[in-house]
């Protein structure tokens, strides 16, 4: 997988950075001359401006290697949104983006942490650990933070973490009747092009969850709801056929990159 490298701090970018989203309109004209226009909700172009400072030689070398591999603007690579939630359908755990174990039941439409009705109860009716997970086409070797809001009436605990192949990493979190943001931060521990983020319950466990979020960084940021589209952009290009860097001091480099991502359902 060709992917924009993660920086040593465990992030895809540094602040401040800019993200501009462009939409397009589709216009139809009838033979009689009548026109109708509507927004194309299935398409968006996102332009990123990434100011990078204090890069080590290894970090800049990884960017240069990617630039040469994609031949400047010619080919695409995967970019993980440093400002967004990588998961799709972050509140709809019954959607097709989420995979449920056979004995894991999902009941939607419950009260959530902000006064709405977007939370879901996950119940394990089996005799072994069961849960739900979402697979992302993203590097398993990256550092991620997976978070969700959880509560339970009976004190059930929830395991949150990630898995790639047979390797997994995560932790158990205790819950109570009060909403708590549970999170895990780490790596799957293997190399691969796919990684599953999972919430798992003990046998007989029942937990109400809401607001799942995955970020390619070490700590959770403010929750961002997603619907059909998460923040993994597999159709990203460099905006220029040239790449320039400035050495601020010995062993530290600076650059300003522009990337363009296309999002199509």
In the chain, the percentage of residues whose pLDDT exceeds 90 is 77
Say what the pLDDT of residue 264 is: 63
For residues 50-55, average pLDDT = 92
| Calpha distance 56→180 (Å, rounded) | 38
Any idea what DSSP says for residue 65?
A: H
For residues 56-64, average pLDDT = 94
pLDDT greater at residue 229 or residue 125? 125
pLDDT greater at residue 226 or residue 43? 226
Task: Say if residues 106 and 132 touch (Cβ distance below 8 Å).
Answer: yes
Say what the pLDDT of residue 242 is: 94
Q: What residues pair up with 45 in beta bridges, in sequence order?
A: 22, 262
pTM for the model stands at 0.90
pLDDT greater at residue 47 or residue 22? 47
The CA R_g of the chain, rounded to the nearest whole Å, is 21
Kindly tell me the number of DSSP H helices and DSSP E strands found in the chain: 1, 18
Q: What is the pLDDT of residues 180-237, one digit of tens each?
A: 999 999 998 888 999 999 999 999 999 999 999 999 999 999 999 998 889 999 999 9
Say what the pLDDT of residue 38 is: 62
In the chain, the percentage of residues whose pLDDT exceeds 70 is 96
Q: Which CATH topology does 99-215 take?
A: Jelly Rolls (2.60.120)
Say what the pLDDT of residue 265 is: 60
Mean pLDDT of the chain: 92
**Sign of the dihedral defined by the CA atoms of residues 26, 90, 142, 248, in that order:** positive
Q: What is the pLDDT of residues 151-184, one digit of tens each?
A: 999 899 999 999 999 899 999 999 999 999 999 9
Task: Say if residues 216 and 143 touch (Cβ distance below 8 Å).
Answer: yes
pLDDT range class, residue 255, cuts 50, 70, 90? very high
Q: What is the dihedral of CA 99, 215, 17, 89, to 10 degrees?
A: 30
Residues carrying CATH 2.60.120.260, the chain: 99-215
How far CA 112 is from CA of 107, 184, 199, in Å, comes to: 13, 21, 17
Which residue's structure tokens are 């920086």?
7
pLDDT(90) > 70:
yes
Say what the pLDDT of residue 39 is: 64
Q: DSSP H helical segments within the chain, as ranges?
A: 57-70
Phi, psi of 81 (to 5 degrees): -55, 115
pLDDT range class, residue 69, cuts 50, 70, 90? very high
């Amino acid at each position: 997988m060709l992917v924009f490298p993660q920086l040593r701090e465990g992030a895809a970018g540094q602040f401040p950075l800019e993200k501009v989203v462009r939409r397009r309109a589709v216009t139809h004209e009838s033979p009689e001359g009548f026109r109708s226009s509507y927004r194309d909700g299935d398409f968006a172009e996102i332009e990123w401006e990434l100011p990078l400072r204090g890069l080590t030689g290894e970090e800049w070398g990884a960017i240069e290697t990617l630039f040469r591999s994609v031949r400047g603007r010619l080919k695409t690579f995967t970019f993980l949104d440093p400002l967004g939630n990588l998961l799709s359908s972050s509140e709809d755990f019954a959607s097709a983006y989420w995979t449920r174990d056979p004995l894991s039941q999902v009941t939607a439409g419950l009260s959530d942490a902000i006064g709405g009705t977007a939370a879901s109860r996950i119940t394990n009716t089996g005799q072994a650990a069961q849960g739900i997970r979402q697979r992302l086409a993203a590097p398993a070797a990256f550092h991620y933070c997976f978070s969700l809001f959880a509560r339970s009436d009976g004190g059930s605990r929830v395991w949150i973490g990630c898995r790639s192949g047979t390797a997994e990493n995560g932790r158990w979190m205790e819950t109570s009747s009060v909403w708590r943001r549970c999170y895990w931060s780490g790596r799957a521990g293997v190399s691969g092009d796919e990684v599953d983020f999972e919430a798992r319950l003990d046998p007989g466990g029942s937990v109400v969850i809401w607001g799942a979020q995955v970020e390619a960084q070490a700590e959770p940021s403010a929750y961002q709801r997603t619907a059909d589209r998460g923040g993994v952009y597999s159709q990203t290009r460099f905006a220029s056929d040239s790449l320039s860097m400035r050495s601020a001091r010995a062993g530290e480099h600076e650059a300003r990159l522009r990337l363009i991502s296309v999002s199509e359902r």
